[in-house]
Amino acid sequence: MTSLLSAATTIKVSSTLEKAGKKHLIDGSPETCWTSQQGLPQYIQISFPERVVPESIHLTFQGGFVGTRCSVKTSTSDGDWTLLTHIFPEDINKRQEFPLPTASISDAGIERLRLEFEESSDFFGRITVYDLKLFGSHV
């Protein structure tokens, strides 16, 4: 498997709390993070420079601010989102790996992936992610 995140990857987020911006999702530093504002749902949206087939997501949350129910959605250039699967992260500080069902992704691949956090372990609905990794193959 290959990392699908690069300098050419575009990341959008639903909201950002103060200086905890989206660039910190993939900067590799254990001391920086993305934190959303309060309220649900929150999301991380990734646009790839070429079509890909994602195979697994790795997330490191801050305990107490975990997206405990997350819809993983995919899209091609037409803009319609298709539900790929749900993942259920634990309320812990350790990296968690979630395999994705590649059988439901066509051989043509996808252009965008969206992690939509529907529930949070934080009473106010905030999400804090220290690290995001996405592995798979290029089409």
Render pLDDT for 3-31 as a digit per residue (tens, 0 to 9): 999 999 999 999 999 887 899 999 999 99
CA dist 137 and 41 (Å) reads 29
CB half-sphere exposure, 66, CA atoms < 13 A: 19
Per the structure, the complete domain to which residue 24 belongs is given by 2-138
The number of domains in the chain is 1
CA–CA distance, 87 with 7 (Å, rounded to integer): 26
Q: Is the predicted pLDDT of residue 84 greater than 80, yes or no? A: yes
Residue pLDDT, tens place only, 40-80: 999 999 999 999 999 999 999 999 999 999 999 999 776 78
Measured CA to CA, the distance from residue 49 to residue 70 in angstroms comes to 24
Peptide bond into 54 cis (omega under 30): no
Say if residue 101's pLDDT is above 90: yes
Look at residue 53 in the predicted model and tell me its pLDDT: 96
Q: How far is the C-alpha of 62 from the C-alpha of 25, rounded, in Å? A: 12
Domain with residue 63: its CATH number is: 2.60.120.260
pTM here is 0.95
Q: Which amino acid is at 128?
A: T
Q: What is the dihedral sign for C-alpha 67, 73, 76, 81?
A: negative
Q: What is the pLDDT of residue 26?
A: 94
